[in-house]
Structure 1
Amino acid sequence: MRRMLTVCAAVAVAGTVVAAPAMAVAGGEAAGSGAAPWMVTVAFKGDEPLVQRESCGGALIAPDRVATAAHCLDHVDPTHLEVHVGGGTLSEDPGKVVPIKGWSVEPGFRLIPSPVDPQDFEKSSAADDVAVIKLARSVFGVPTLPVARTAPAPGSTVDLFGHGLTQAPDPKNPAAALGDQLKHAQLKVLDDGACAAGLASPGLLDGKSVLCTQGAATVCPGDSGGPLVQNGRLVGIVSFGGETAGKQCGEPTVDGFADAAVARSFLTQPRPPLAPMAAADPVITGTKAAGDTLTCEAPKWTIKPEKTEYAWYYNKVDPANGFEFYLPVEGATTPTLKVTDELAGHKLNCGITASTAGGTILQYSDVF
């Protein structure tokens, strides 16, 4: 589900993500300057334009804390991420970049496989899909978005904000679908019965931690983790949308949000446990000759893991299309790997899965 869900017009779209008109999204609008100063963009570090690196949204709920979706962070190395606070049109106003101290995932977070198609990862929904990002320094002079104490009533209006895709992408021009400008839409809250009826299967709804909306706009890839707001308070966090039913961005659907009021105690706890954080990636040492031994050297940890697991991988090229992918070396679950004649002819890398009460990250070495 690493779904990166933006506000899209609720119209049937052919293909896989189509650009909305340049004007505001149907059922929504371009958010005005300063409309959402607490809006956060979570992006992978890199040299590409921010709009191409944006992965999820979030909201500044305290000067040193961001609320977002658990599926945006689960198993993600925090050193590879950056946080932008207050971004409007990302290409012109990317907001203030703030370093990350770490992140914490709600302990009850879990994916709910689709009863219709349990093997399709993208069709899963989620329960307790909430996480916090602890910032390395406080952000002053920026209004925060308080977390609601009660959920919005069914039938009431809520406001959605997002930088995700604006349509199903056209393979010939994928950039046209990118959500450069912050979008806003008003939606109606559904009761659990209407929500379950609108999903591909009622079994996808965890009624204890999820609230649903429907309207003339919908969430899309890139909007995940973004805020749902009512009366100046955070009431929901974007979790899943029409992809659970195989729908494309912009097709009418029920959208699912983590209920912020239910998660309030987790989001506002004074000292959330943080997932592991390393100073660097793992490094493979040794020589790749048959009979030799390679070692996957763990990095120095700035937040030490309580548990670590190792895995080794070798490359394989699909002769049909030339694609290269990596497969696990069977039984290789320790920091060392005995190089066989067969492995000596492949590219290799190692992975470390590290966990604390705050969550799990997955790190990979460079190819060796």
Structure 2
Amino acid sequence: MQLSTAHRTTTRRIASAAVAAGAVVGLLGTFTAAADAATGAHPTRPNHPIIGGTEKPVGSYPFMAALLTKGRGNPHDRQFCGGSLLAPDIVMTAAHCVIGAQPKQLETVVGRTVLSKKNQGHLRNVTDVVVHPRYARGQEAYDIAFLMLDKPVTGTAPVNLPTAGTDALIRPGAKATVIGWGNTDTEVTHYPDRIRAVDVPIVSHIECKASYPDYDKKVNVCAGVEGKDSCQGDSGGPMFRKLPGRRGVYQTGIVSYGDGCAAQGAPGVYTYTGSAKLWDTLSESAKGKKLKQLLGR
């Protein structure tokens, strides 16, 4: 699902083991053409996942979702992005993962640790895809989308979101966790079957702007350090924090783009889920307005 890299080296963190396996070529072509048109300034780079992380035991992240191209093959080969359970029947992900895709082309599994283990988690069909209206118009910073599921995921607590307009959870230097099935090696491509996690430091807006001139501090946040980062295959997945005395996790970011993976001076860029502007402008489309009402945002 690689896009043109003619524009610049910063790229979206979408990838798929299915590309390497030569599967679902038609669907990937659909994603590529649509994403290339909408995200030309941040085209996708060669395939890679969580860098510097560790494998996690079964059941570690029940709110985590894997986006799959629909088919009969091994789910490990069909996974291309991550996501998170935002409500029992809604999965939140990155817009660049699903722009141009039809619901019938997708499925998602929530709460699976090992992708190939079909007895883990909750597999759901997708009935609708809601892309942030500003992203759909080419404003790449608004990299968020929502998958409406055919039936609720029960017995699993969705992620919590920061209060819109606050920045207490993205204080520079604070540690957050990123999870996914992305490539684990920048030299030799390897997509793990078991989910991995890495703790990354939040980076200040000033430092991030120095690395990415198009960075928008109103709707983005940066995190990562040399040797620890998200990467291809992790797109759409959550960056989150656990707070003392609070239940569940607070998702602060959605994996979006970056310059290379885990490189010095090039942190990952995330869509900030506590951005008031992100949620206020969601109402600019009819679908977005309805979704915002459903979520009470």
Cα distance, 1:258 vs structure 2: 0.2
C-alpha distance 84-168 of structure 1, shift in aligned 2 (>3 A): same
Partner of 1:227: 238
Cα distance, 1:186 vs structure 2: 0.5
Q: Is 1:102 equivalent to 2:113 in the alignment?
A: no
Residues paired across the two proteins, number: 237
Q: Is the 8 A contact 1:167 1:250 kept in 2?
A: no
The structure 1 residue matched to 2:149, chosen from 135, 138, 142, is 135
Cα distance, 1:51 vs structure 2: 1.3
Alignment of 1:110-259 (within 5 A): 111=138, 126-149=140-163, 150-151=166-167, 152-168=170-186, 170=188, 177-199=190-212, 202=213, 204-215=214-225, 216-231=227-242, 232-242=249-259, 247=260, 249-252=261-264, 253-259=266-272
Q: Is the 8 A contact 1:5 1:241 kept in 2?
A: no
Identify unmatched segments of 5+ residues in structure 2: 4-11, 17-45, 243-248, 292-297
The structure 1 residue matched to 2:104, chosen from 69, 73, 79, is 79
SS in 2 for 1:141: coil
Cα distance, 1:55 vs structure 2: 1.1
Kindly indicate which of the two structures has a greater share of residues assigned to strand: 1
The structure 1 residue matched to 2:86, chosen from 61, 68, 72, is 61
Partner of 2:59: 34
Identify unmatched segments of 5+ residues in structure 1: 7-15, 113-125, 276-356, 359-368
Question: What TM-score do you get using the length of structure 1 for normalisation?
Answer: 0.58
Q: Distance in 2 between matches of 1:222 and 1:153?
A: 26
Q: Distance in 1 between matches of 2:251 and 2:228?
A: 19
Question: What TM-score do you get using the length of structure 2 for normalisation?
Answer: 0.71
C-alpha distance 256-18 of structure 1, shift in aligned 2 (>3 A): closer
The structure 2 residue matched to 1:44, chosen from 48, 58, 69, is 69
C-alpha distance 54-185 of structure 1, shift in aligned 2 (>3 A): same
Identity among equivalent positions (%) equals 28
Q: Distance in 2 between matches of 1:195 and 1:38?
A: 28
C-alpha distance 145-5 of structure 1, shift in aligned 2 (>3 A): farther
Kindly provide the amino acid, as one letter, of the partner of residue 212 in structure 1. Answer: C
**Superposed structure 1 runs of 4+ greater than 3 Å apart:** 16-20, 249-252, 263-267, 272-275
CA RMSD in angstroms comes to 3.1
Kindly provide the amino acid, as one letter, of the partner of residue 136 in structure 1. Answer: D
Q: Distance in 2 between matches of 1:238 and 1:102?
A: 21
Kindly indicate which of the two structures has a greater share of residues assigned to helix: 2
Cα distance, 1:188 vs structure 2: 0.7
Cα distance, 1:256 vs structure 2: 0.3
